[in-house]
Copies of this chain bind each other. A is one copy, B any other.
Amino acid sequence: MPAISQRGHEMPASPIRKLVPYADAAKKRGTKVYHLNIGQPDIVTPSAIMDAIKHTDIEVIEYSHSAGNESYRQKLTKYYGAFGVNVSANEIIITTGGSEAILFGFLACLNPGDEVIIPEPFYANYNGFAIAAGVKVVPVTSGIADGFALPPISAFEEKITPLTRAIVICNPNNPTGYLYGMEELESLKDIVVKHNLYLFSDEAYREFSYTGPLLSVMQMQGADDNLVVMDTISKRYSACGARLGALVTKNKAVLDAVMKFAQARLSPPTFAQIAGEAALDLPADYFATTKAEYQRRRDLLVSRLNAMPGVFCPNPGGAFYAMASLPIDDSDRFCQWLLESFEHEGATVMMAPATGFYASAGLGKQEVRLAYVLNLAALNKAMDCLEAALQVYPGRNA
């Protein structure tokens, strides 16, 4: 039998999905499972998006332009312009989800053996794209005591070697919910300009910013060739399954290289592009309404968590995730136990152990990530489960 590749061995299985068999078994036993483990919102996709797809007059589902439909990219320039990011349609390449934007960015900018610095905890799938591109992830640790603020610049500079080629951030952050402010972004800009690095900025949750204005790294001046934004409509329009994203940069060489990867896979999905284009015509208050809903959920979740003895949850400034430290021995064991051996009023809660979001071994063992993607009533019940569970969990710390 021919062997699989080294990277096939090295690819991590999804840390979020490894508990799924236990959740399935719990459901089979009749236990209700509140899913706070994955960023799949319950927010209904705007009807204008669904209507655009249902009323399409397409007769042949043709390939689109490899960079995405020109009409969609033109309209996107207005979307970006509204928050001060001035790009032309040629500086936007439409991708199959934000995932493909990350993969193409890595493939086009990084050589096998290069290093990318990422503040940890970080979105676990960066590991997968790094392995696909043959790149080494070098973590800089942020801590729950500081609310996962950007580590000091000196911590980044300590990690820079001749192999370092990029810094990757996610802002607002998944999994921490931390929102880097403009000062922190400016300090990152200074590092990447000084050391001639790329700054890859995953802005999937850009609109969900509770404590400050909507931010993009591309609002900054003087680093056009260093900045590459990875974007997606998944979260902002509750359209995760459509698979539509974008890579945005003013660096012409990067655009040319990414375009060749885009041509090799022909085109992004047609129906997703119809969805994305329709979304740009949503009323101006769409994000205000959605954001207010997430903020209510955040406020409930964080106050419930912090009211539990031994639990600490810093108040996240953006996205729809919170990280909490729990008085437990091991978050992987606890999350599995919740699904295998616990129920409260016929229900339990599924969370993501934080260990999967750290590259440094041993970190995150007392932390979990909670996605507040369920409505207030469901969130309250999920918190009832967690509160009750912590009182009886055999591995509770003193």
Q: Which single residue of chain B is at the shortest CB-CB distance from A240?
A: B63
8 closest A-B pairs by beta carbon, nearest first, are A128-B264, A8-B257, A241-B270, A271-B271, A11-B260, A99-B265, A1-B225, A14-B263
**Chain A 48-107 interface residues, beta-carbon cutoff 8 Å to B:** 49-50, 53-56, 58-64, 66, 96-97, 99-100, 103, 107
Contact with B along A209-230 (1 / 0, CB 8 A): 0000000000000000110000
A112–B134 touching, CB < 8 Å? yes
Q: Is A353 among interface residues, defined by CB-CB distance under 8 A?
A: no
Of the candidate stretches A36-44, A148-156, A300-308, A385-393, the one touching chain B is: A36-44
B111–A264 touching, CB < 8 Å: no
What B residues does A114 contact at CB under 8 A? 5
Partner of A241, one of B61, B129, B243, B251: B61
A17-B265 contact in complex given A226-B2, A271-B271, C-beta closer than 8 Å? no
This chain: how many copies in the complex? 2
- The reply to whether A241 and B99 form a contact with Cβ atoms under 8 Å apart is no
| Size bracket of the A interface | 35 or more
User: Which A residues contact B (CB, under 8 angstroms)?
Assistant: 1-9, 11-14, 17, 38, 40-45, 49-50, 53-56, 58-64, 66, 96-97, 99-100, 103, 107-112, 114, 125, 128-129, 132, 134, 165-166, 196-198, 225-226, 238-243, 251, 253-254, 256-258, 260-261, 263-272, 275
Whether B60 pairs with A225 at a CB distance below 8 angstroms is no
Q: Of the candidates B5, B61, B261, which one forms a contact with A109 in the assembled complex, judged by CB atoms under 8 Å apart? A: B5
B264 near A132: Cβ-Cβ < 8 Å: yes
Contact of A58 among B40, B50, B256, B261 (CB under 8 A): B50
Measured in the bound complex, the distance between the Cα atoms of B108 and A1 in whole Å is 14
Closest residue of B by beta carbon distance from A100: B265
Q: Judging by beta carbons under 8 Å apart, are A11 and B257 in contact?
A: yes
Complex: A100 Cα to B43 Cα, angstroms: 29
Looking at A4, A13, A253, the one whose CB has the most chain B CB atoms below 10 A away is A4
A-B contact pairs, 19 of them (CB 8 A): A2-B196, A4-B256, A7-B111, A8-B108, A8-B257, A12-B260, A41-B60, A53-B53, A53-B54, A54-B55, A61-B238, A61-B240, A96-B269, A99-B265, A103-B265, A125-B266, A128-B265, A134-B134, A241-B270
B45→A260 contact, CB < 8 A: no
Contacts of A103 in B (CB 8 A): 265
Which residues of chain B have C-beta atoms less than 8 A from A11's C-beta?
Answer: 257, 260-261, 264
Contact partners of A111 in chain B: CB under 8 A: 5-7
Closest to A233 in B: B61
A56 to B2, CA, bound (A): 42
Residues of B within 8 A of A165 (CB): 2
Distance, CA A253 to CA B11, complexed state (A):
13
Residue A265 contacts which of B97, B108, B272, B275 (CB distance < 8 angstroms)?
B97
By the criterion CB–CB under 8 Å, are B257 and A5 in contact?
Answer: yes
Residues of B near A260 (CB, < 8 A) are: 8, 11-14, 128
